[in-house]
Amino acid sequence: MISPAIPPAELENVLYEKRGPIAYVTLNRPKVLNALNQGAWDDLKTAFERVRDDDAVRGAILTGAGDKAFIAGEDISELARATALDAEKSTRSGQAVLDLIENVGKPVIAAVNGFALGGGCETAMACTIRVAAEHAKFGQPEVRLGIPPGAGGTQRLPRLVGKGRALQLILSGEMITAQEAWRMGLVNEVVPAADLLARCEAILAQILANAPVAVRFALEAVNKGLETSQSAGLLLEASLFAICAATADKTEGTAAFLAKRPPRFQGR
């Protein structure tokens, strides 16, 4: 049964609903191709704080309303009026929201159902996994507006696709197809638009069949390990491995394997 959406008065730009252990977060500004203004950033923050804090939620799918755009970028009318101080504040705010999504401790799948440009591409990159509809388009066109990417594009894109490919996209402002994004490693899969949500749900089902604590710590090990040296990352991995080894889920997982039965994980 679908739980009630957050009242519109609380979230004007985002739809939030739960179906079982999955939270569905939809940026809901289709008239402007789901462009990000400050209100949208604030609502995304509220939605993913709810994902983080709700123990019944074990994963999330993030998408955009309509069939034209995931998120088509920043709201240019708002950007055009911004002073340097405004821009610095809004950039740091957007970066904080995407850090929250990336480190929410639960898998987040971006269902990219159209244009993912600028802040939209950056939002998708903050997700754990990206699945794109065949008609989706990706790009970091900020230089065409006289600015560089400001919500993590200069940092996450090189980590995903390599420095050379990232710089080509960032410096040219080129828009690429979903197929090209898959070829370079920016997206995990490309599927027909009609299958997009079902495929995201299927991937989450595979993940959620596993031990919740192990999934959370595996996410943390990868995310934090990429920010440090390999030796420091290995130390973090060993520490998290040791913590998991003391959980009831490890006891259940190993017992189930030896007994040749499905495990019944409790997340503890």
Q: In whole angstroms, give the CA distance from residue 92 to residue 121.
A: 17
In eight-state DSSP terms, residue 187 is: -
CB 131 within 8 A of CB 198: no
CB 214 within 8 A of CB 240: no
Q: Annotated catalytic sites, by residue? A: 122, 142
> In sequence order, which ranges of the chain are alpha helices (DSSP H)?
38-53, 76-80, 84-102, 119-126, 153-161, 163-172, 178-184, 196-208, 212-225, 230-245, 248-259
Closest among 130, 151, 195, 142 to 171, alpha carbons compared: 142
By residue count, the chain amounts to: 268
**Which are the contacts of 94, defined by CB distance < 8 A and separation ≥ 6?**
36, 41, 119, 122, 150, 151
Question: What six digits make up the tokens of 172?
Answer: 């040219």
In eight-state DSSP terms, residue 152 is: S
Count other Cβ atoms within 10 Å, centred on residue 235. Answer: 13
Closest among 120, 139, 108, 119 to 69, alpha carbons compared: 120
